[in-house]
Amino acid sequence: MTALAHAASGAGAVQQTPALRVRDLVVRYGSGRRAKSTPPAVDGVSFDIAPGETLGLVGESGSGKSTIGKAVLGLQRPTAGTVEVAGQDVTAMSLKQRSRQVADLRVVFQDPYSSLNPARTIGQTLVEPLRLMGVKGPEALQRARAGLESVGLPADAADRTPAQFSGGQRQRIAIARALVCDPKVVVLDEPVSALDLSTQAQVLNLLADLRDQRGLSFLFIAHDLGVVRFLSQRTVVLYRGQVMETGPAEAVAEQPRHPYTLALTAAAPVPRPAEQAARRAARESAGFGTAGAASPSATGCPFVPRCPLSTDVCIEQRPPLRLVDTDLTACHHAERSADLGAPLHRGR
């Protein structure tokens, strides 16, 4: 098995058809010469998600993680590559064709306030995807009420409007809307980033329970490695549309092998000001550059302008994903990352 195939499949996806398979995905924005002259938003990304598994996509703003989510959902047409849901290639399907698969692939968006129609009752919102499946009348409403109860809300919440609920409750409603069709895959696009910390924990625990009870597969998009680590079995770290590192979520968080993953770990917010200052000082002493500080190499590693380990080979050759301990890492100098990470761990 090649490193790329190993990265895409994961341990649990080898023996069965993946719930979601993404292969060599490329997405370019724009058209004509403009699209060809600008770097792709997503550049050759591959991964599988097994039934019942959560894969976390993590990276800074502009890393391509939300673009991947849009490509999977059919909201952005891929330039190249394929997306398969339960073994069926959906890459070239129109939105009308995809509507027939409403039961297989659902989404929970970031903002719990704008994702619900304020003019409709919660019941009307939850019944809509069921109507597309041919489920109507009392049966649809009964399933909607049961869906609300499954996320910890009363059944009579179906008779109210979104304005009567808090942000955390609205996100529970959005989760119920996603699950009312019994999907195989749910794309979670920053589902807790707009919530306060206590509500985040409640929603993450709810998602974990629902996944385990129903055997759901989650594509979990986030910018915080700590949040990804809590919910995901595996993590894919993205930078400028490329996979920098992928492996078991615990290993990626505790022993990252790519300098970019180390930088993400050091930049994660913590509630204690003294610890935050120590981590900032450790990050600066390690020599990491800031985002957007310089243009990336056109042929080599995109992290070169910010990486304290970069050499000429990093500028000239794009590093392939290769196995380093338990993680697949796209770094020519991954074996030196432990020394680079020492001051960061002392800053924790």
Given this model, what pLDDT does residue 80 score?
94
How sure is the predictor about 154, in pLDDT bands with cuts at 50, 70 and 90? very high
pLDDT at 136: 87
pLDDT at 100: 67
* pLDDT above 70: residue 291: no
CB-based burial of residue 293 (10 Å sphere; 0-12 exposed, 13-18 middle, 19+ buried)?
Answer: exposed
pLDDT computed for residue 16 by the predictor: 82
Confidence category of residue 266, pLDDT binned at 50, 70, 90: confident
The arithmetic mean of pLDDT across residues 33-40, rounded, is 77
**Neighbour count for residue 270 (Cβ, 10 Å):** 12
Q: Percent of the chain scored above 90 by pLDDT? A: 59
* 204, pLDDT greater than 70: yes
Q: What is the pTM of this model?
A: 0.89
The pLDDT of residue 89 is above 80: yes
- Cβ-in-10-Å burial (0-12, 13-18, 19+) of 295 comes to exposed
| Cα–Cα distance, 190 to 57 (Å, whole number) | 10
**Which one is predicted more confidently, 37 or 333?**
333
What's residue 45's pLDDT?
97
- Amino acid letter for position 61: S
- Could you state, in order of their start, the residue ranges of all structural domains in the chain? 1-104+183-254, 122-181, 255-348
- 214-250 pLDDT, tens digit per residue, is 999 999 999 988 899 999 999 999 999 999 999 999 9
Q: What is the pLDDT of residue 1?
A: 43
- Higher-scoring residue by pLDDT: 336, 179: 179
Q: How do 185-189 and 242-248 pair as beta strands?
A: unpaired
Can you give the pLDDT at residue 313? 94
Take residue 166 and report the two structure tokens written for it.
Answer: 């808090």
Mean pLDDT for all residues in the chain: 86
Q: Which residue has the higher pLDDT, 172 or 293?
A: 172
pLDDT attached to residue 14: 44
CA–CA dist 195, 317 (Å, integer): 41
Mind listing the pLDDT tens digit for each residue in 5-27?
A: 555 555 444 468 999 999 999 99
Residue type at 163 in one-letter notation: A
Report d(CA 111, CA 74) in Å as an integer: 20
Amino acid at 17: T
Instruction: Specify the pLDDT at position 151.
Output: 96
Query: What pLDDT score does 112 carry?
Result: 84
What is the fold, at CATH topology level, of the domain defined by 1-104+183-254? Rossmann fold (3.40.50)
Give the model's pLDDT for residue 347.
47
pLDDT per position as a tens digit, 182-199: 999 999 999 998 888 889
pLDDT at residue 286, rounded to an integer = 63
Nearest to 311 by CA among 335, 340, 332: 332
Query: In this structure, what are the phi and psi dihedrals at residue 246, rounded to the nearest 5 degrees?
Result: -150, 145
Identify residue 291 by its one-letter amino acid code.
A
**Mean pLDDT value of segment 61-72:** 94
